[in-house]
Every structure is written in C-alpha cells, then in structure tokens.
Amino acid sequence: MFFAKLTGSICLITACTLYSRLIFLQYKRYIADLNQIYQILYRIRGEIAYSRSPLDDILYHIRNQFPEPFHTWLSNLMKQITLRKFTKFDSLWTERITEDLNTIRLKPGHRMLLAEFGQHLGSIDYETEAGTMQMVLERFKTEIQKEESTLKTKNKLCNYLGFMTGLFLVILLL
Amino acid sequence: MKDVQKKQRETQILQILPKTIRRELEAEAIDFDRLQEIRIRVGQPLLLVFNQEECMIPSSLTDKHMVTKNEVRETLDYISNYSLYAFENEMKQGFITIEGGHRVGLTGKTVIENNKVKNMQFISSINIRIAHEIIGCADGVIPYISANRQICHTLIISPPRCGKTTLLRDLVRQISNGNKFVKGCTVGVVDERSELGGCFMGIAQNHMGIRTDILDCCPKAEGMIMLVRSMSPEVIAVDEIGSPEDVHAIEYVMHCGCKLLASVHGSSMEEIQNQPILNRLIQEKRFERYILLDHSIGIGRIKKIFDERGSLIFQESA
C-alpha cells in the first residue's frame, strides 16, 4: 500500500512538473515566434530600402525563408495584394494577421504593434515610411527584450509551481 | 488571339479602377479597343475618351458619375499595388507605366527640393492612357531605310501626337525580328520615359522583337554608352533626342559601328537644320535617312523620306 501511494505521489508530482515545463516551453515558443515576426518586418523594411520593389514582389521573395504559419501568412498577403480586393492595405494586413496568425495567439499589445506596421505601408512616401517602420521595429524589439528578460524568472516559477502543485495535490489526496 | 489581347487589356484596365467605377464600366459594356483615355478628377465627372471624343457614364442617366477623393486614393493604391514608394521615381516624372504598357498620368501637389520635383502628393487627377500598339505600321518605311539588308542611320522627325514613337517601336520590332529587307539584329533601346517598351517591372509590355534589350527609365546619353559597353548592340534606338549630351552619345555610338534609330520633335527638315544642336549632325551627314511625319495627312502617316544629302526619296501622294 505504501509503495502504491509513493508511486502515485511521484507520478503526480512528475506530471505537474512536466505540465508546468510544457507551459514554459509554449512561452519560449511564443518568444521565438515574436522573433520570427520581427525578422519578417525587418526583411520587408530592408527590401523596401534596397530594391524599392512593390510589396507583392517582396513577399514573393521572402515567404519561402520562413516556416509555417508565417509562410502561409506572407503567401496569402501576396495573393490578396494581386487580387486588389481591399480598398485599403491596412484592412488587408489586419485581416491576414487575424486569419493566418491565430495559432500564435498574439498578445493584444503585440497584435496592435504588428497591425501598426501595416497601417501606412505602401501608402506614403518612402522617407516617412522608413521612419514609421523603424519606429515600429524598435518598439517590437523592446517588447521582445521585455519578454526575454522575464524568461529566467518564468522558468524558475514554472518549475517551482509545477512541483509545489504536485506536492499540494499529493498532500490533499493522502 | 485578338480576343485574348482584348480581354487582357480589359482586365488590366479594370483591375486598377475603384470598385464603384469598375461596376459602372462593366454595366456600360465599354469597348476597350476603341477606348483611348479614362480621366479621373476629384469632384468632377468621370470622362472616357473614344476616338478623340469624350463621353460620361452612366450614359443612360442625367446624373453622371462624380469622382470622389476616396476613389482617386483607391485607384492610386491599385495602380501601385499598395506600394507607392516603389513608384516615387516615376511619379516625379508625372506618370506611372502599368502592366500592359498603359500609362497613368498624375497631377497633384508637387514636393520641391533643390528646385527639382522630389515627389507628388494630394493626387487630384489621374489620366489612364490605354496603350494601342500598331503592329506593322513601319512596313512601308523599312524598304526606304535599309540597304543590303542593313538598316541605315535614321532620324524620325515629327510634331507631337503624329505617331513617331509608335513608328519607332515597330521599326525596332521589325529590325530585331528580321524580315526580307533587314536581317534580324541585336537592338538596344534606351527608353527614358518607358514609352517605347512600356516596361512594367523591367519587362517590355509591347512587342519589341526577339533580339531587343531595353534600358528602362535611363537617361538617353548615359544609356546609349552603357548599351554599347555592355550589350554589344548592332542597332541603338532612342526616342526624342535633343540635348547636347544626346548628340555626343550619338556620335560615340556611330563611331562604335552601331546603327542609330532616333526620333526628334520637328515639323520639317528646315526646322531641324536650324536647330543648333542637331545642325552639325545633319551637315556632317551622320544620318543616312530622315523620315518626316505629318498629322495633316493622318496620324502615323509618312509625309516624306530624305537621304543624307537631303534628296527626296519618298513622298506621300495626296
């Protein structure tokens, strides 16, 4: 009986710890996704500055360099630009973020920042646009740094919380 | 084939128009073969030009379609593929060439920097000029400007809107492809204003022949020298020459053994001879043929062709 209880307790504590690890890994993945978005925006800005190609051409060239769901996001954006169904680019940009990046579950602040990048894209002169893009990129970088700075604390917190929850449940059940 | 081209042209034009105007044009069943221009001005009725005659839509109603600011904005977004920054250089010149070689003229408030137009903002008028290539319009000219299956140095003299660019384009196509009068040869085209090739994203939208290389949006003088150095053309074609730099470049091209096809604004041989810049070239008999166009006998019709001595070798019968 004692061994059964001991095994059960160990299993419970391990499961809770693993679950908390999973939550932490998801958070790490989220930061990696934010970094991917940052890279995409950075590439768009770079291509605009270097080649001054139209957006559909830029998206066509960069989309294959990014994994899913970003590849689909960029591909759909490119297709919709060619179809010219939207009267304004920012509504197209926002719609594609909602439709194609829903798996990432962006935080409202990050979603707004991403939407802001597309707000004036292609509708103003290059100089103003370059300034706006730079500003959004800097804010995005700061957000990523902010998230990364809490990574260590969150790692510890997840580990402790997982273990403690397991322990609490063991005590409760015993 | 013609139907496919017509359908293509229709799609190319409709896709750059705002949805409201698109719907009305579709309802009117417009003949895009005859359509020359679409004029979109903020606060003014939408104008269509067919064979030099204007008409407003909807034709059945007295209340005509009035263009709004948003429609102009929407058109601009579609023309630029939501990428205005990509067309800033073209906008400085006042027009954008779109897919199909159609030209979109723009007016609004110009932004000036160092006494030069830097950009344009608050666009209020858009003029869409539909490209109508006339393939074969140079058929009658080729025999007069070729000798031993080689093209002669030729200057096309014409007042505006007489079809000199159209003629030059067809000459380039025929020389590049080759026919019974000239053997197909490499042609380099310096297309400063994208009028000859109607290039969209660097690709010619008009038929320019199989051996043609185009330098799009490049200053003529610089472009001619670049072509000689990089593409070894046998013939170089340029539209609307006139500056001293152009003349220097023409001399350089001719010294390099390339044949030259050029056009210039003018209404007679005497007028060209009196131009200080071109006078020397004519006196030195650099050009072997001069083609004179005149609109009094119809757009694109050849009035006279002269040789290097100024002797008349062809005259249009009245």
A135-148 pLDDT, tens digit per residue, is 999 999 999 998 88
- The reply to whether A50 touches chain B by the CB within 8 Å rule is no
Which residues of chain A neighbour B15 with C-beta distances below 8 Å? 84
Lowest mean pLDDT among A24-33, B54-63, B144-153: B54-63
CA-to-CA distance for A85 and B19, rounded, in angstroms?
9
CA-to-CA distance for B187 and B112, rounded, in angstroms?
37
Average pLDDT in chain B: 88
* pLDDT value, residue A20: 86
> Among residues of chain A, what percentage have pLDDT more than 90?
28
- Tokens standing for residue B121: 């903002």
Which residues of chain A neighbour B111 with C-beta distances below 8 Å? 125
Chain A: nearest CA to B89, how far in angstroms?
A: 10
Q: B70 and A84: CB-CB below 8 Å? A: no
A24-53 pLDDT, tens digit per residue, is 888 889 999 999 999 999 999 999 988 888
CA-to-CA distance for A28 and A163, rounded, in angstroms?
20
pLDDT level of residue B297 (50, 70, 90 thresholds): low
- The reply to whether B113 touches chain A by the CB within 8 Å rule is no
Q: A122 and B74: CB-CB below 8 Å? A: no
Comparing CB atoms, the residue among B74, B80, B119 nearest residue A87 is B74
Q: Is the pLDDT of residue B318 over 70?
A: no
Contacts of A137 (CB under 8 A, 6+ apart): A38, A41, A42, A45, A117
> Among residues of chain A, what percentage have pLDDT more than 70?
100
Instruction: Give the SS3 label for residue B161.
Output: coil
Q: Is the pLDDT of residue B2 over 70?
A: no
pLDDT level of residue A127 (50, 70, 90 thresholds): confident
**Nearest residue on chain B to A130, judged by CA atoms?**
B85
Q: B121 and A125: CB-CB below 8 Å? A: yes
**Nearest residue on chain A to B86, judged by CA atoms?**
A52
- Judge whether B2-129 and B142-315 match in fold: no
For residue A166, the tally of other CB atoms under 10 A from its CB is: 22
* pLDDT value, residue B1: 59
pLDDT, average across residues B79-99:
86
pLDDT level of residue B275 (50, 70, 90 thresholds): confident
Cα–Cα distances (Å) from B291 to B165, B168, B314, in that order, read: 12, 11, 9
B188-231 pLDDT, tens digit per residue, is 999 988 888 888 888 888 889 999 999 998 999 999 999 999 99
Lowest mean pLDDT among A106-115, A150-159, B42-51: A150-159
What interhelical angle do A126-149 and A2-51 show, nearest 10? 160
Contact B277, B141 (CB under 8 A): no
Residue B236, Cβ density class (10 Å: 0-12 exposed, 13-18 middle, ≥19 buried): buried
- Out of 3.30.390.50, 3.30.450.90, 3.40.50.720, 3.40.50.1700, select the CATH number for domain B2-129: 3.30.450.90
Which residues of chain A neighbour B13 with C-beta distances below 8 Å? none
Instruction: Give the SS3 label for residue B78.
Output: helix
Contacts of B52 (CB under 8 A, 6+ apart): B36
Chain A: nearest CA to B17, how far in angstroms?
A: 10
Please state the domain extents for chain B.
2-129, 142-315
Q: Is the pLDDT of residue A80 over 70?
A: yes
CATH architecture label of B142-315: 3-Layer(aba) Sandwich (3.40)
pLDDT level of residue B254 (50, 70, 90 thresholds): very high
Q: Is the pLDDT of residue B81 over 60?
A: yes
**Nearest residue on chain B to A93, judged by CA atoms?**
B82
- The reply to whether A117 touches chain B by the CB within 8 Å rule is no
Contact A100, A78 (CB under 8 A): no
Chain B: nearest CA to A122, how far in angstroms?
A: 4
Q: Is the pLDDT of residue A124 over 90?
A: no
Comparing CB atoms, the residue among A54, A87, A92 nearest residue B86 is A54
Q: A125 and B77: CB-CB below 8 Å? A: no
* pLDDT value, residue A161: 87
Chain B: nearest CA to A137, how far in angstroms?
A: 19
pLDDT, average across residues B241-269:
91
- The reply to whether A82 touches chain B by the CB within 8 Å rule is yes
- The reply to whether B110 touches chain A by the CB within 8 Å rule is no
Phi, psi of B128 (to 5 degrees): -95, 115
Chain A: nearest CA to B74, how far in angstroms?
A: 6
- Tokens standing for residue B262: 């050029």
Q: B82 and A55: CB-CB below 8 Å? A: yes
pLDDT, average across residues B44-63:
84
**Nearest residue on chain B to A119, judged by CA atoms?**
B82
Contact B259, B152 (CB under 8 A): yes
ipTM of the complex: 0.76
pLDDT level of residue A160 (50, 70, 90 thresholds): confident
Q: Is the pLDDT of residue B61 over 80?
A: no
**Nearest residue on chain B to A44, judged by CA atoms?**
B83
Which residues of chain A neighbour B74 with C-beta distances below 8 Å? 87-88
Contacts of B30 (CB under 8 A, 6+ apart): B48
- The reply to whether A122 touches chain B by the CB within 8 Å rule is yes
**Nearest residue on chain A to B84, judged by CA atoms?**
A122
